[in-house]
Amino acid sequence: MPSFTVSDGTNIYYKDWGNKDAKGTVVFSHGWPLNSDNWENQMFYLANRGYRVVAHDRRGHGRSDQPWTGNNMNTYADDLLQLIEHLDLKDVMLVGHSTGGGEVARFLGRHGSSRVQKAVLVSAITPFLLKTEDNPKGTPIEVFDSFRAAIEKDRAQFFIDVASGPFFGFNRPSVKASQGQIWSWWQQGMMTGIRGAHECVEVFSKTDMREDLKRIDIPVLVLHGDDDQIVPFEGSAPEVMKLLKKGTLKVFEGASHALPNMNIDGVNHELLAFLAA
């Protein structure tokens, strides 16, 4: 399996598909507690249309190492930079889902856009997920405390509950549940080390990316479902648009947090159109 070692000795697994001679490359960052497999529909679609597509398993997740340290957004962004440098990628379009969207925002705020032309935030945790005095539309800390407690008590059952309910929107009466999607989400979640899964809850809840978004100087496409139960729409996408210099918002009506899985054709269409723009 292809992998490389970052500066602190952590081994990072990645996929590198499609046309290696393509002018641009699409680099995907996945959400919690998943891995690069969650992007397979988008990667397959774009690779079959002549693009080079790359996705890694974040440290602590999937087939990458499970280090005890470095489970924070700055290190996630640094790992992504080292992946791009390892493959010497240029003219990149970064695409991040959920926590991966936060990783993309922090990458651009921390490392700039010298190798990046465009970015896409999909159901992203941006700009700031936690409810605070200056972020009243956020989610109360008690919700995230309950996540950590559930991971400690019975992680396997908690991951079944999340996948069976709010993540895909299968708790909505109009949505038909896919047992395959539930199993896939659970499998990916259980491949993640418990330390990485537990600490990533802190990362996606408490990382404030408002200043990162202000620094981004490239076009950014924001994709979000207005029935997202994980990252509620009102506290996310509209607030992101207020901070971006060159942002475009596409709202998926009635859609859940799992846009790459539940709205495959729509997301693929938006990515391809944005690449060509």
- Identify whether the C-beta of residue 125 lies closer than 8 Å to the C-beta of residue 212: no
CA–CA distance, 119 with 166 (Å, rounded to integer): 26
Say whether 64 is catalytic.
Answer: no
Say whether 228 is catalytic.
Answer: yes
Both tokens of 126, joined, read 């941006």
Say whether 57 is catalytic.
Answer: no
Catalytic residue among 98, 123, 205, 236: 98
Count of other CB atoms within 10 angstroms of residue 22: 16
CA–CA distance, 73 with 43 (Å, rounded to integer): 24
- Identify whether the C-beta of residue 168 lies closer than 8 Å to the C-beta of residue 256: yes
Cβ partners under 8 Å of residue 192, min gap 6 = 33, 34, 35, 60, 61, 62
The residues annotated with a catalytic role in the active site are: 98, 228, 257
